[in-house]
Amino acid sequence: MLYRSTRGTVGANAPNFSDILLSGLADDGGLYLPTHWPFVPRETLNLWRTLSYPDLAAEVIGLFTEGCIDLETLRTMCREVYSQFDHAAITPLVEVEEGLFSLELFHGPTLAFKDMAMQMLGRLFEYVLKQRDRHVTIVGATSGDTGSAAIEAFRGRERVSIVILHPHGRTSDVQRRQMTTVKEDNVLNIAVEGDFDTCQDMVKAMFADEKFRNECSLSAVNSINWARIAAQIPYYIRAALALGAPDRQVSFAVPTGNFGNILAAWAAGQMGLPIRKLCVGSNRNDILTRFLLNNDMSVHKVEPSLSPSMDIQVSSNFERLLFEMLGRDSDRCRAIMQEFRQTGHMAVPHDAWKQTRENFCGLALNDEKTLKAMARFYRRSHYLADPHSAIGLAAGEHYREAGIPMVAAATAHPAKFPDAVKKATGISPGLPPHLADLLTREEHYQVLPNDLARVQEAVLAHRHNH
């Protein structure tokens, strides 16, 4: 399996999976995608229904690592990674209302869906870096959950230094402390005075600085790294198979920030999974819903909300979908993305928008409506949902159709957002035993201004100290 950039042509030396795993972002600023989508026949989907989650994940990821990592090695990795999750089903399905299911993706070590892919990434990096005898510096931006999942996956690894940027004062206490209480010396946390888009822009700028990128051997684990998306595809296939696919269509609703999680569901459809609808759930930062309803992809100011992981205006992974909707025309994709960067408005051609609308729908909830949704699902079904998951469930409830299962991705454990959950339901969700003392642990992080040079200095110093 070979890969190409959304902003470049397919060259004679197209990179393989190991290449793009370590590089993350393409040299031309684009995002990597496979040169073709692997198709999974119905017979194979039916066979996959009998597999455990780790073995199914190995089969799916193996389609994208072909030529780099063999299936038996992947199987061993997946079995070890998912043995750390605290639910036997790994990704249990809970029927919240008739025909509306919650796909619980928060049973990993940091209580968020990011663990599903990030724990695999830690093992994949370790394998490839050892093969190539290399050391890399991972730099990532987080709006809440990605950072803690990345730190948990890479803490203490000899061949990796990791730096995570988060917006100062804009994550929940639990989210921040899951990052800042880690003591391993290969971990650096930086709180940037700005919002998530500020942090994300800094990461992109560091990758765009060729001298800095090479000096630090930069690598990315945000969802701009294709391996993250590849490792998220299996749970959509698993859920659909449990509900009757491939003989039955299934719809998915996903609370969406950076567009990576729902893109993985779309990718499963490209591979042959019969998907009826993909529903984007947004909070008050509703750029994706505005785009889907009115072709309005214009950046507004990021506003803090009860669902901070979705406090995003520039959804990086949307570029991958745009590239596909433009018929894989990299020149058009590059021009549109460059104009978007300059003007804050993405001029998506009408035909591409119309094609997107055939696959996607959107619903946005402000904080008040989010609390009402949380209260409603608890009152009706005794189902405790965090603010992000409640938005996904509400989007699923809004768009479900008779006879077609609607699966909403539950992306975070309620205990990650205890104040919002208590306000909505009166219930104070407790942290699991392994995190019970989290709020009393010592924190370690730097607060830096919105100054790229200052942040780069800190990254360089960390690189040289580890």
Q: Where does residue 306 rank: exposed (0-12), middle (13-18), buried (19+ CB within 10 A)?
A: buried
Place of tokens 């409603």: 376
Which is it for strands 160-167 and 136-141: parallel, antiparallel or unpaired? parallel
Catalytic, out of 114, 204, 277, 416: 114
Angle at 456 between CA 453 and CA 458, to 5 degrees: 115
In 269-318, DSSP assigns E strands to: 275-282, 297-298
The DSSP call for residue 301 is -
Around 308, how many Cα atoms within 13 Å sit in the side-chain half-sphere? 24
Pick from 299, 303, 301, 304: nearest CA to 287: 299
Hey, what are 294's tokens? 């009115």
Place of tokens 């990592």: 69
Hey, what are 89's tokens? 């089903």
Q: Where does residue 370 rank: exposed (0-12), middle (13-18), buried (19+ CB within 10 A)?
A: buried
**Spatial distance between the Cα atoms of 165 and 169, rounded to a whole number of angstroms:** 12
**Spatial distance between the Cα atoms of 387 and 366, rounded to a whole number of angstroms:** 10
**Spatial distance between the Cα atoms of 315 and 236, rounded to a whole number of angstroms:** 21
User: Length of the chain in residues, anyone?
Assistant: 466
Is 130 one of the catalytic residues?
A: no
* Active site (catalytic) residues: 114
